[in-house]
Amino acid sequence: MNIAILGSTGSIGKSTLEVIRQNIDSFSINLVSANTNHELLLDQCEEFSPKYSFLHDESSRRLFEENANKRGIKTSLIHSMDDLEKAIGSAETDIVVAGMVGISGLIPVTSAVKSGKKILLANKESYIVAGEYLNKLSKENGASIFPIDSEHSAIHQCLNSTKNTSDVSRIILTGSGGPFLDKPIIDFASITPQQAINHPVWNMGKKISVDSSTMMNKGLEVIEARWLFDISDIEVLIHPEGIIHSLVEYKDNSLLAQLSVPDMKIPIAYGLGFPGRINSGSKKLNLNDLGSLNFMEPDLDKFPCLGLAIELLEEGGTSFSVLNAANEICVQAFLDERIGYQDIYEIILKVLDRIEIKTVQSLDQVFESDRDSRTETLSIINQL
């Protein structure tokens, strides 16, 4: 199997290469791409000899080429988005790992879907902002999508033997509850960026750590799950240990769950190996050591962002891209100490109120509402 890894120098990309090292006889790399990290990209080219590489940043491209010559690296460097899309869609690529961050990932993800690839999707923005559109494309072109998000991979695994989604009564999406699960609501106004990026279970980037603390991440995951599995009955359950990654309830009231240590290599190995199983290189889960697992309902007064995202399931259309963009701007403003912790929710609510929501007919509409939402959010923040 020949793999294209988009965002190969990020955390998902690096974990993917770790899984591939464990299974080096079954996989080869066709393409690696990154934003600016030309040094690590060169190391990856040296180790895995992909046919193509790509860097979004032009000056990084120059440095890559200079050093590739010196080191005798034969990988050819792609210079345009068009050529990148061609390499993704080419018959040489069997699997596309979408590990890049942000809404710009939607374009390469769309070309992978259009060319009917097997896609390991860590770029959750794609399915949040354009899920309905991508589902249609995916059905037309026979693409298959394996989410690289612990919860959605768990749901995929629990649904695996299901022929008919009408046998499913609901999805139960678990979440650790983040660092402020036990913090009294009265103390929320004084939460600092440093406190918010300190996640108890997962070690992640700053943006997603803040999203976990507000539970907006769980809300976005509800939207992602709705489109990935075409099931709208989704509940969120707090499970602080982060061992059960999600559950599926069937109409006979049977519940299936997937358990493992929290490690992204497991969803990656599941996607790469499907329909078989391959070595992930992760630690084994020892239930005996754990002793007990805990569950509780989420407190929507403390975490209104979660309730807001769930409410938007009814609204649909471009509301998801407005939500996603407003949240991104607000989280950055909070990290920059321009707004308070609870302003994140208040500002997003205002933006959703001010921007007209439409049905999604094209990607252009998604990008347009994303831009409008960013502009509106910034103007609200600047007026504070």
Distance CA 74, CA 87 (A): 16
In DSSP terms, 52 is beta-bridged to 31, 76
Smallest gap, in angstroms, from Cβ of residue 189 to Mg ion? Answer: 27
- Using the minimum distance from each CB to Mg ion, give the nearer residue, 151 or 376: 151
- Using the minimum distance from each CB to Mg ion, give the nearer residue, 320 or 367: 320
Q: Which residues bind Mg ion (CB under 5 A)?
A: 149, 151
- Using the minimum distance from each CB to Mg ion, give the nearer residue, 94 or 235: 235
Q: Identify the residue whose tokens are 């976005």.
A: 220
- Using the minimum distance from each CB to Mg ion, give the nearer residue, 220 or 381: 220
Distance CA 335, CA 16 (A): 29
* Helix or strand (DSSP H, E) at 144: strand 144-147
Smallest gap, in angstroms, from Cβ of residue 212 to Mg ion? Answer: 8
Smallest gap, in angstroms, from Cβ of residue 25 to Mg ion? Answer: 31
Residues 6+ apart with CB under 8 A from 268: 12, 15, 16, 19, 97, 120, 148, 280
Q: What is the CA radius of gyration of the chain?
A: 21
Distance CA 93, CA 153 (A): 22
Of 134, 70, 124, residue with least CA distance to 102: 124
In the bound state, the residue with its beta carbon closest to Mg ion is 149
Of 98, 85, 84, 110, residue with least CA distance to 10: 98
Sign of the four-CA dihedral 301, 305, 309, 314: positive
- Using the minimum distance from each CB to Mg ion, give the nearer residue, 149 or 376: 149
Smallest gap, in angstroms, from Cβ of residue 110 to Mg ion? Answer: 22
Smallest gap, in angstroms, from Cβ of residue 64 to Mg ion? Answer: 32
Smallest gap, in angstroms, from Cβ of residue 217 to Mg ion? Answer: 7
Smallest gap, in angstroms, from Cβ of residue 274 to Mg ion? Answer: 19
**Which amino acid, residue 104?**
S
- Using the minimum distance from each CB to Mg ion, give the nearer residue, 142 or 205: 205
- Using the minimum distance from each CB to Mg ion, give the nearer residue, 51 or 245: 245
* Helix or strand (DSSP H, E) at 347: helix 343-354
Of 332, 241, 254, residue with least CA distance to 290: 241
- Determine the 3-state secondary structure of 110 from DSSP: helix
In DSSP terms, 170 is beta-bridged to 249
- Using the minimum distance from each CB to Mg ion, give the nearer residue, 151 or 370: 151
In DSSP terms, 31 is beta-bridged to 4, 52
Smallest gap, in angstroms, from Cβ of residue 225 to Mg ion? Answer: 10
From residue 361, give the alpha-carbon distance in Å to each of 134, 157, 318: 11, 31, 10
- Using the minimum distance from each CB to Mg ion, give the nearer residue, 108 or 178: 178
Task: Specify the DSSP class assigned to residue 356.
Answer: P
Smallest gap, in angstroms, from Cβ of residue 46 to Mg ion? Answer: 32
